[in-house]
Amino acid sequence: MRFDTLAIHGGQEPDPQTGAVNVPVYLTSTYAQKAPGETKDGYDYARTKHPTREVLERSLSALEGGAGALAFSSGLGALTTLLWSLSKGSRVLACDDLYGGTYRLFEHARRTWGLETEYLDMSDPERVVKWLRKGGVQMVYMETPTNPLLRLSDIDAISEASREAGATAVVDNTFATPYFQRPLDLGADIVLHSTTKYLGGHSDVVGGALVFREKATYERLKWLQNAAGAIPGPLDCYLVLRGIRTLGLRMRAHAKNAEAVARALEAHPKVERVLYPGLPSHPQHELAKEQMSGFGGMVSAELKGGLEASKLFLSKLHYFFLAESLGGVESLVEAPALMTHMSIPKAEREKRGLTDGLIRFSVGVEDPDDLVEDVTRALG
C-alpha cells in the first residue's frame, strides 16, 4: 500500500456498527459492564482502552511500519512515559541539539530520579560508536533533523551500534514525519512524535505518540501508558486522524515551499547562513538524500547583525506568524533562544551553536511566491 493510500486506509476501517467512514468520537469515560468484571471486548475505563484512540494508534503504527503504537496527551507526555520505563540511575545518550522541552525533561529526570543523560553531537556516527563502546548506556536518543539546527543522525549506523551496546535506539521523527523518513525501517527501536505538529497539521490539537519495532516493548509501555495516564481525549485523537489523512499532500507542499524559502534566504546578502537538509550547502546533504525521501518544511537561518537584525526582521514579516510550535498549514517563525529553547542555559545553547540571533521557520503550504516575497521584503 503506497503512502497516501496508507494514510487514509491504514488502521482506519469504516465503523463496523454504522459504516461511518470517519471514526466516531466516543465521548465516554467508562463503559457499562454485563456483570462485575465482565466487560465488552475489554472496555472498562477510557484511560485503559478507548475506541477512538485505538484507531489512531493503529494508524500511527501502520504509517511507521511498527508492531504497535501508543498515543499520548503530548510529545512530552510520550517522552515522560518512555523515561519512566528506565530504572533509577540508567544512562541516556542524547543528541546535543534538542527541543528545549526535551532538554528540560531530561534535566528534571536527572535531578529527581537519578537518570543520567549525556549530550553528544551525533552528526558523526563514529563519535557515537566510540562513546557506546564505553558501555553502560541504556538508551540512545536522536532527533533527526534536530530542533533547531537541523543536524542529522545516521539512523542506520547509530541504531546498529546501539543494538551492539545493548541500548534502545529512539528517534524523534517529528520534523521528518513517516512520509519522509521511517526510522524503524532503518533499525531504530522506538519512534517518538509530537502529533501536535505535522501529523495533526492544523495547529488545533496537542498530542504525542510512541511507535515500536517489537511487540514486547509495546506491551510493556502500554502498561505504563495506562498507569501514568497521559492519554489524549477522543476529540484530540479524531483531529490527529483527520490530519493524517492529508499528511502526504501537505508534506509535499511543505517541502517544496521550504526549499524555495531556503534558497531565497541563502541568496540574500543579509543572511549569514541557512540550515536546510535539502540544500547542497548543508554539511549532511548526502546523508539526507540517503535516509530521507524528502527534506521537510523546517528551515533555520542566521542573519548578519545578530539578535537585533533578527528582531527587526521578525517584526516585518506578514505571512509568517511569530509563534511557537510548528508543522501547521500556516507559516510560523520564531527565535528559539528567546522562545522554544529558553529553558536551555545560554552557555549551553552557544556551545551547541544555537546563537541568540538564530531564526527558525516552519514553512506552511501557502503559495511559495508569497512566502519568498514576504521573507525578502522583511530582509529589506
Task: List the domain boundaries for the chain.
Answer: 3-244, 248-379
The span from the CA of 96 to the CA of 240, in Å, is 29
pLDDT values of the chain reduced to their tens digit, one per residue, 380 residues: 999 999 999 999 898 889 999 999 999 999 999 999 899 999 999 999 999 999 999 999 999 999 999 999 999 999 999 999 999 999 999 999 999 999 999 999 988 888 999 999 999 999 999 999 999 999 999 999 999 999 999 999 999 999 999 999 999 999 999 999 999 999 999 999 999 999 999 999 999 999 999 999 999 999 999 999 999 999 999 999 999 999 999 999 999 999 999 999 999 999 999 999 999 999 999 999 999 999 999 999 999 999 999 999 999 999 999 999 999 999 999 999 888 888 888 888 888 888 889 999 999 999 999 999 999 999 98
Q: Which residues are catalytic?
A: 47, 99, 172, 197
| Other Cβ atoms within 10 Å of 332 Cβ, number | 19
Cα 91-208-99 angle, rounded to 5 deg = 55
Strand partners, 301: 274, 359
Quote the DSSP letter at residue 97.
Answer: S
Q: What is the CATH number of domain 3-244?
A: 3.40.640.10
Tell me the fold of 248-379: Aspartate Aminotransferase, domain 1 (3.90.1150)
The set of residues, in sequence order, having a beta carbon less than 8 Å from that of 258 and lying 6+ positions away, is: 276, 278, 295, 296, 297, 298, 299, 361, 363
pTM, 2 dp: 0.96
Q: Name the strands in the sheet holding 68-72, side by side, starting at the edge strand that comes first in the sequence.
A: 68-72, 208-212, 190-193, 168-172, 139-143, 91-95, 116-120
Whether 3-244 shares its CATH topology with 248-379 is answered no
Strands (E), 29-134: 68-72, 91-95, 116-120
CA dist list (Å): 42 to 16, 34, 49, 109, 294: 17, 11, 8, 34, 41
